[in-house]
């Protein structure tokens, strides 16, 4: 009985958070002299209205799923990976490099390019993992710093060795591309690519590693209680490094969504893409679970894509969607508030 209540609550928190976020977002629109009803109508139209919008939503969600998985995987093992953004950038570059410089049949080239991106992300994650395991340096600090190193290093490498006209690399070869004319045609020529398949596969992989393998058992044990893990003969240092590697691999794979899917190249980035940071929000809203993350990523992807229509059709600036997203995060983070509210409504105030 209690267990069901607990589960229900886990689902209830994000749902109520989203509703509250939309509601208060609407109030803010009202105060700012926008019509929330027409704004949300345009938003929904912008997500589901036509094949193109739907395709773009799914496309935008694919890297978000992976960056969300990266954050969640680290979180499940007791680590805060704030470095998803940097791991994503190096993953992006590595996949593009393989995509440009190798000549292989597609069945080998594409997986190779994705794995190269994941490996680069993993490597980028291993460094803070190692520093934590060996010298007890807090991973939040090192991963944040690694983000900046990644941003400027990838830019430097592109500028020095891979530059093509337009502040970017050359296009990758067709054999390494995730792009799918079939999916594009299906969605009125959106940029939808096979990345969503990779993302969902990764979600399954995360669930499987964490809950079905001895490795996942060890990783979670270390995350919850290092002392008991040590007592049980689990190598704590090794598992911290491994957790960061796997988390970084998911983040690197998120980068391949951009490099091999959406863009087919890598640009010199003036600033962070934000996809890595959004992963924190996705993972939070998705309660660190595979299914939750897929749903949360689709929601965030939808809000982002839909906000474009909201601006053009209803004249409401896209920034308001940013506010709605921020509100949703706020409510998830303050789940205590929702617990309190639901208790008020259901039990007449008794806790």
Partner 1 sequence: MEYVIEMRNIRKEFPGIVANDNVTLQVKKGEIHALLGENGAGKSTLMNVLFGLYQPEQGEIYVKGKPISITDPNIANRLGIGMVHQHFMLVENFTVTENIILGKEITTGGRVDLKKAAKEVKALSDRYGLSVDPNAKIENISVGMQQRVEILKTLYRGAEILIFDEPTAVLTPQEIHELMEIMKKLVAEGKSIILITHKLKEIMEACDRCTVIRRGRGIGTVDVAETNPDKLAAMMVGREVNFKVDKTDASPKQTVLKIENLVVEDARKVPVVDGLNLEIKAGEILGIAGVDGNGQTELLEAITGLRKVVRGTVELNGKNITNHKPRKVTEAGVGHIPQDRHKHGLVLDFSIGTNMVLQTYYQQPFSKHKILKFPAIFEKANQLIKEFDVRTPSEHTLARALSGGNQQKAIIAREVDRSPDFLIAAQPTRGLDVGAIEFIHSKLIEERDKGKAVLLLSFELDEVMNVSDRIAVIYEGKIVAIVDPEETTEQELGLLMAGGKKQKAGDRSESH
Residues that bind partner 1 (CB under 8 A): 1-3, 212-217, 220-221, 224-225, 227-234
By beta-carbon proximity to partner 1, the closer residue of 112 and 217 is 217
By beta-carbon proximity to partner 1, the closer residue of 94 and 133 is 133
Rg over alpha carbons for the chain, rounded to the nearest Å, is: 21
By beta-carbon proximity to partner 1, the closer residue of 152 and 208 is 208
Q: 267 near 167, Cβ under 8 Å?
A: yes
Shortest Å, Cβ 232 to partner 1 = 5
Shortest Å, Cβ 119 to partner 1 = 21
CA–CA distance, 85 with 250 (Å, rounded to integer): 11
Shortest Å, Cβ 249 to partner 1 = 18
Shortest Å, Cβ 279 to partner 1 = 23
C-alpha closest to that of 304 among 64, 116, 18? 64
Shortest Å, Cβ 339 to partner 1 = 14
Shortest Å, Cβ 140 to partner 1 = 21
| C-beta atoms surrounding 254 within 10 Å | 36
Q: 98 near 116, Cβ under 8 Å?
A: yes
By beta-carbon proximity to partner 1, the closer residue of 22 and 209 is 209
CA–CA distance, 262 with 178 (Å, rounded to integer): 8
Sign of CA dihedral 48, 53, 59, 60: negative
- Report which DSSP code applies to 274: S
By beta-carbon proximity to partner 1, the closer residue of 2 and 270 is 2
Q: 284 near 333, Cβ under 8 Å?
A: yes
3-class secondary-structure state, position 193: strand
Give 116's contacts (C-beta < 8 A, 6+ positions apart): 94, 95, 97, 98
By beta-carbon proximity to partner 1, the closer residue of 213 and 312 is 213
């Amino acid at each position: 009985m209690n267990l069901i209540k607990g589960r229900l609550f886990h689902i209830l928190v994000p749902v109520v958070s989203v509703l509250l976020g939309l509601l208060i977002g609407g109030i803010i629109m009202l105060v700012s002299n926008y019509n929330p009803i027409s704004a949300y109508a345009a938003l929904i139209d912008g997500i589901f209205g036509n094949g193109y919008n739907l395709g773009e939503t799914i496309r935008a969600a694919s890297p978000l799923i992976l960056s969300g998985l990266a954050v969640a995987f680290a979180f499940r093992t007791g680590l805060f990976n704030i470095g998803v953004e940097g791991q994503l950038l190096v993953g992006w570059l590595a996949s593009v490099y393989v995509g440009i410089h190798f000549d292989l049949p597609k069945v080998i080239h594409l997986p190779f390019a994705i794995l190269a991106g994941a490996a680069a992300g993993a490597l980028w994650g291993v460094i803070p993992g190692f520093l934590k395991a060996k010298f007890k340096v807090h991973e939040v600090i090192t991963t944040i710093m690694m983000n900046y190193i990644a941003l400027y290093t990838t830019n430097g490498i592109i500028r020095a060795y891979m530059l093509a006209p337009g502040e970017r690399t050359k296009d990758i070869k067709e054999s390494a591309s995730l792009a799918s004319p079939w999916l594009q045609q299906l969605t009125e020529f959106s940029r939808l690519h096979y990345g969503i398949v990779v993302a969902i596969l990764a979600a399954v992989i995360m669930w499987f590693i964490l809950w079905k393998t001895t490795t996942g058992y060890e990783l979670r044990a270390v995350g919850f209680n290092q002392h008991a893990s040590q007592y049980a003969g689990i190598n704590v240092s090794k598992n911290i490094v491994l957790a960061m590697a796997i988390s970084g691999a998911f983040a690197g794979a998120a980068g391949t969504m951009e490099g091999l899917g959406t863009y087919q190249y890598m640009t010199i980035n003036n600033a962070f893409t934000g996809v890595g940071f959004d992963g924190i929000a996705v993972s939070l809203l998705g309660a660190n679970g595979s299914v939750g993350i897929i749903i949360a990523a689709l929601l965030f992807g939808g809000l982002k894509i839909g906000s474009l229509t909201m601006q053009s059709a209803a004249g409401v600036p896209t920034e308001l969607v940013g506010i709605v997203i921020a509100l949703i995060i706020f409510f998830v983070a303050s789940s205590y508030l929702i617990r309190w509210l639901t208790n008020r409504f259901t039990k007449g105030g008794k806790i």
